[in-house]
Structure 1
Amino acid sequence: MFIPVVMAGGSGTRLWPLSRKQFPKQFLNLTADNSMLQQTLQRLNGTAHGAPILVANESHRFLVAEQLREAGIHGGRILLEPFGRNTAPAIALAALMAAEDSPENTLLVLAADHVIADVAAFQAAIAQAETLAEQGRLVTFGIVPDAPETGYGYIRKGAELGEQGFEVAEFVEKPDLTTARDYLASGEFFWNSGMFMFKAGAFLAELEKHQPEVLAVCRQALAKLTSDTDFDRIPADIFEQCPDISVDYAVMEHTSLAAMVPLSAGWNDVGSWSALWQVADKDDQGNSLRGDVIAEDSRNSLVMAEHRLVGTVGVEDLVVVETKDAVMVAHRDRVQDVKKIVEQLKQQSRTEADANREVYRPWGHYDSIDSGERYQVKRICVAPGAKLSVQMHHHRAEHWVVVSGTAKVTCNDKEILLTENQSTFIPVGAVHSLENPGKIPLEVIEVQSGAYLGEDDIVRFEDLYGRAQI
C-alpha cells in the first residue's frame, strides 16, 4: 500500500485566459468533465493506497476541499503552504507527515495537472516502482519519448534493475533541438515526468545528506503546524526561511539510490495550449472545438468558447480561447509567448492577470456582471447550508434580489427570509449576513453602490471558514 502525495500548488500562466493565479489549471476541466486534480486521484482507483496528502497554496484551500468533496474523496489531509518554495520542501513536508506513522510508508508523488491517457499502463508502472521503492530506491518515472522535445528535462537510463526498471545514469537539462534528436535516436533517454515513488524514511535520509537546511526548516515548520477541520497550515514565518529548490536539484541528481521506471501511457503535462490541442479529441479537419463554436473552412485549430458564440473562417493552426472577460488568439507555434500577455497585464495592474470574472469562495461563488462609476453588479450563488460571514462595509450599500432559492438575511438586529423575486436593502455600516437555509442553491443579484467598491472593504465579525477579523 502506498500514500498518494499530490502537489497542487501551481499557479501557471501559460494557459491564460482560462488558467489564472486564483484558479490555475489543476482545478480546470480541460480534458474531461472533471478537473485535472480530480482525474489525478481518480486514476488511482483500483490500486491499494491510503488516504492522500495534498500540498496546496493557502489561497486555493477552498477549491481543493470542494473538489475533493465533489469527487467523493474523504479522509485525506490538505497541507497548506503560505507561499511556494518549489517541490523539494513540498515533498519533504508530506514525507515528514507520513513518517510520523512510519518511516516505512511508501509515497507516490504526483503533480495535480498531468494527463495520463492509459490508466492501466500507469498503474502497472506504479507496481514496478513500488517493488523498487521497497528495496530502498528513490524511483522516478521516465516518459518514453515519441518526439525530440526541447521543453522537458531528460533522464539517461543506467544498468537494469531486474524487470522493474533501471538505475539512473544522469539527469540532463532541457536540450536544444539537435541534442534532443540525438537523445531520441539513442533510445537511452526519457523525459523527466516529475513523478516519484519512495519510502518516506529513505527520501528524508537522502534529503538530510544533500540538503539538510531544507529538512531542518520543514521539521521546524511541521512542529508549529496548526490544524482545523479541513486543513493543516504551515507557519509563514518559519517556511519563508526554507530554500527554494526542486526535488531534482536537492536530491535526485545527487543520490546513489535513484532508479527509473519507463512509462508509456499517453503522458502530457499540458504545459501550453498546443499541448492541450495534441491530447484533445479532434474532428476530421484537425480542430478541437469546445462550447458554442462554428468553424468554417478551418483546420488544425483549438477553439474554446465559454460564454459567447465564436466563429472562425479560413483559419489554420490557431488557438482561440474566449472567457467572460477576455479573448486570446495565438498561432499554435507561438503559444509559449502567452505569458508575455500576462506580464503586460501585471505591469498595467489589471485584474485579468490573476482573477477570473467568476470568483470561488468557501460558501459558493460570485460573478461580477457589470461595473461602473460608483456601482457594481454581482450574481451570487450560495451553496445549500452555506453562509457568508457576518460583516459590514464602510463605503458601500447593497441591494439584494433573490432569483431562486431561499435567503436568510440578517441586517443589524433584524432577520428575514426572502424567496424568489423578493429583495432587501443593506445600508452602509450595517452588520449583515446572507445564508442559504434551503436544499437547493441560492441565487442572488447584488447591486453595490458607493464611493469605494473594493473587496477589501469588508470587516468580518463571525465566519464559518476562519476568516473573521474581530
Structure 2
Amino acid sequence: MTTNEITPVILCGGSGTRLWPVSRKSFPKQFIDLIGEGSLFQQSSKRLAGEGFAPPIVVTNSDFRFIVTQQLHDAGIDPGAILIEPEARNTAPALLAAALVAAKDDPDQLMLAAPSDHYITKADRFCESVHRGVAAARAGQIVTFGITPDRPETGFGYLELGEGAAHGARPLKRFVEKPELAEAERMLAAGGYLWNAGIFMYSARTLIDAFANHQPEMRGQVQASVNEAQPDLGFLRLDPKSWAKCEDISVDFAIMEKVDNLSVVAHDGDWSDMGGWNAVHQHAERDAQGVALQGKAHAVDCKDTLLRSESGAVQLVGLGLQNIVAVAMQDAVLVADRSRTANLGDVVKQMRAAHVPQADNFPKDHRPWGFFETLILSKSFQVKRIVVNPGAALSLQSHKFRSEHWIVVVGTAKVTVGPDKDNLKVQLVHENESVYIPLGAIHRMENPGDTPMELIEVQTGSYLGEDDIVRYEDVYARGQGAKG
C-alpha cells in the first residue's frame, strides 16, 4: 500500500428483502447475478480495484465469509482484511472498525466506504468522481458522493448543497429525508440537491476523531472489539462481547448528521442502489413496450413489465400483463404490481411470522466447499444434489438421526467412513458408483479432482435438519451446528 492509494471499505452484510424471492437472508442480493456481469458485490469490488486503489477491506458476517472470498477470487481480486461482525450493528460500528484496523498501519490512510449492492454502469466516470474528492479528504473533510438527480425520486434521501467550494468539493448544507413527490419535484426544479448515495471518503484518522467527538462510547466499544479480535483462517473475527454493546445505528445518524467537516462531490453517471424490482426493471434491457425479460421468460402483449425466471426448468410466460413484476424460482413465485414492490419487506416479515421457510432460505445452500440443493423433502427422507469444488472437503462428521446414501454422478469422490475415528476406511467412489453411510458413522467427502464433483444424496431418518452435524475435523473451522 502507498500513501496515495485509497482503501475501499465494502460493506456486505445486508439481507435485501425488497428483492425477494431472488434475494433472501441466506444469500442476499449483493451476491446475486442480478444485472450486469457478475454479482453486485463483484461489480463493486472491480470498480474499486486497480490503479489508485489498495486491496479492499470487507466487512461481512460469519455466514457470508466464504462466499466473499470465493466471489473475490472469481473476480480476480486479492482482498486486504476481511472483518467478521459477530452480529449486525448497522454501518456505524462497521465503518469505525475498518478505520481502526487501517489506522494501525497508517492513521492518514484514505478510505472509501461503499455498499456492495450498488449498480454503476460507467466505472471509469465514478472513479473520476472519487479522485475529485481526494484533496478535500486529505484536508480533513469527510467527503460524501451525491448523485445528480434526473427525476423527482421519492425513494432516496437528498443532500442540499451549500455555497462555495473548497478543494474541489461543495459544503453540505443539510441532509433531507426521503421526500413526498411534490417536494422531490420542487428540489429537482430548484437545483442544488443531490441524491444521497451513502458513499463516503475520509482518512482513517478523520473518521476515528469524529466518533471520539460524537460517539465516544461506541468509539471505546469498537476499539475494544478490534483489540480483542481473533484471526480465523485469514479472517479477523471482531470480539463479540464488546461488539454486542454497540448501538445499532447507521453512520449517517451516528456521525454524518453531526459533523461540521462534511463536503460533497457530485457524480452525474448512471447509478442505482438496486433497492427493489422497479430499479431492476429500469436498468434492464427493455423492448419498445417497456418489457424486460431475464432467464427463460416469454411475453405476449405485455407492457412495462419485468419477467424473470431463475430456474432453467421453469418457463415463465406473461400474457396481457401491464406494470407487473413476475419472478419465478424453483420454490417460490412473485407476482406483483410494480407500484407495490416497495412493500416486499413487509411481506417477508409476514412470511417469517407464519414460519414460511421461503422467507429466508433457498433450496440451494452455499457452503465453503461448494453447495447443495434440496430436490425432494418429506417427513422421513430427503434427496439432495451436492456439488463439491475441486480440492475441497466437507468436515469429518457424524449424524445422530439420519443415515445417508451417496451416488456419484460426475467426477470422483474420496470418501472416508467408519464406526469411530480409529477405524476409518478411505475409498474412491467413481461415477455411477455409490456408498452407504450408516446412522452414527463418522464420515467425510472430498473432491480429489480438478473439476467440480457432483453426487446425489438420499437421507433417511427421524430428523433431517442441517443442525444434526457433529464435527470432528473441519478445514473451515466452522465449529458445531449447521454452519458454525
TM-score normalized by structure 2?
Answer: 0.95
How does 1:82-161 map onto structure 2 within 5 Å? Answer: 82-161=86-165
CA shift for structure 1 position 52: 0.6
2:57·2:79 contact (CA, 8 Å) conserved in 1? no
2:118·2:272 contact (CA, 8 Å) conserved in 1? yes
| Deviation string, structure 1 residues 191-226 (Cα, Å, up to 9, x no partner) | 111000011101111111011111111100001000
Matches of 2:287 and 2:411, distance apart in 1: 41
User: What's 1:434 paired with?
Assistant: 445
| Deviation string, structure 1 residues 326-349 (Cα, Å, up to 9, x no partner) | 010001111012223312220121
Output the amino acid matched with 1:209: N
User: What's 1:232 paired with?
Assistant: 236
How does 1:414-425 map onto structure 2 within 5 Å? Answer: 414-425=425-436
2:233·2:476 contact (CA, 8 Å) conserved in 1? no
* Greater mean deviation of Cα atoms: 379-388 or 116-125: 116-125
User: What's 2:421 paired with?
Assistant: none
Matches of 1:77 and 1:25, distance apart in 2: 22
Task: Give the secondary structure class of the aligned counterpart of 2:471.
Answer: strand
1:140·1:258 contact (CA, 8 Å) conserved in 2? yes
Matches of 1:45 and 1:67, distance apart in 2: 14
Task: Give the secondary structure class of the aligned counterpart of 2:133.
Answer: helix
Matches of 1:398 and 1:432, distance apart in 2: 10
**Which residue, out of 10, 13, 36, partners 2:14?**
10
Task: Give the secondary structure class of the aligned counterpart of 1:14.
Answer: helix
Matches of 2:193 and 2:445, distance apart in 1: 58
Task: Give the secondary structure class of the aligned counterpart of 1:183.
Answer: helix
1:65·1:230 contact (CA, 8 Å) conserved in 2? no
Matches of 1:389 and 1:243, distance apart in 2: 36
2:469·2:480 contact (CA, 8 Å) conserved in 1? no
Matches of 1:117 and 1:160, distance apart in 2: 30
User: What's 2:460 paired with?
Assistant: 449
Matches of 1:428 and 1:362, distance apart in 2: 24
Give structure 1 stretches of 5+ with no counterpart.
none
Task: Find out whether 1:192 has 2:196 as its counterpart.
Answer: yes
Matches of 1:336 and 1:166, distance apart in 2: 32
Matches of 1:156 and 1:113, distance apart in 2: 24
**Which residue, out of 403, 407, 411, partners 2:413?**
407
CA shift for structure 1 position 294: 1.4
1:460·1:469 contact (CA, 8 Å) conserved in 2? yes
2:412·2:447 contact (CA, 8 Å) conserved in 1? yes
**Which residue, out of 275, 283, 299, partners 2:279?**
275
Structure 1: which 4+ aligned runs deviate by more than 4 Å?
A: none
CA shift for structure 1 position 45: 4.0
User: What's 1:381 paired with?
Assistant: 387
**Which residue, out of 24, 37, 40, partners 1:36?**
40
Output the amino acid matched with 1:402: V
2:19·2:277 contact (CA, 8 Å) conserved in 1? yes
Output the amino acid matched with 1:333: S
User: What's 2:67 paired with?
Assistant: 63
How does 1:282-297 map onto structure 2 within 5 Å? Answer: 282-297=286-301
Matches of 1:454 and 1:343, distance apart in 2: 23
Matches of 1:439 and 1:121, distance apart in 2: 39
CA shift for structure 1 position 173: 1.3
Matches of 1:175 and 1:290, distance apart in 2: 32
User: What's 1:19 paired with?
Assistant: 23
Task: Find out whether 1:221 has 2:211 as its counterpart.
Answer: no
User: What's 2:317 paired with?
Assistant: 311
Aligned residues: 470
Instruction: Using the aligned pairs only, state the percent identity.
Output: 43
**Which residue, out of 341, 345, 357, partners 1:339?**
345
TM-score normalized by structure 1?
Answer: 0.98
User: What's 1:459 paired with?
Assistant: 470
Matches of 2:32 and 2:206, distance apart in 1: 34
Task: Give the secondary structure class of the aligned counterpart of 2:18.
Answer: coil
Matches of 1:268 and 1:188, distance apart in 2: 20
User: What's 1:390 paired with?
Assistant: 396
CA-based RMSD: 1.3
* Greater mean deviation of Cα atoms: 445-454 or 159-168: 159-168
User: What's 1:348 paired with?
Assistant: 354
CA shift for structure 1 position 163: 6.9
2:136·2:167 contact (CA, 8 Å) conserved in 1? no
Matches of 1:12 and 1:75, distance apart in 2: 24
CA shift for structure 1 position 150: 1.4
Output the amino acid matched with 2:154: T
Matches of 2:176 and 2:345, distance apart in 1: 25
User: What's 1:325 paired with?
Assistant: 331
User: What's 1:170 paired with?
Assistant: 174
User: What's 2:363 paired with?
Assistant: 357
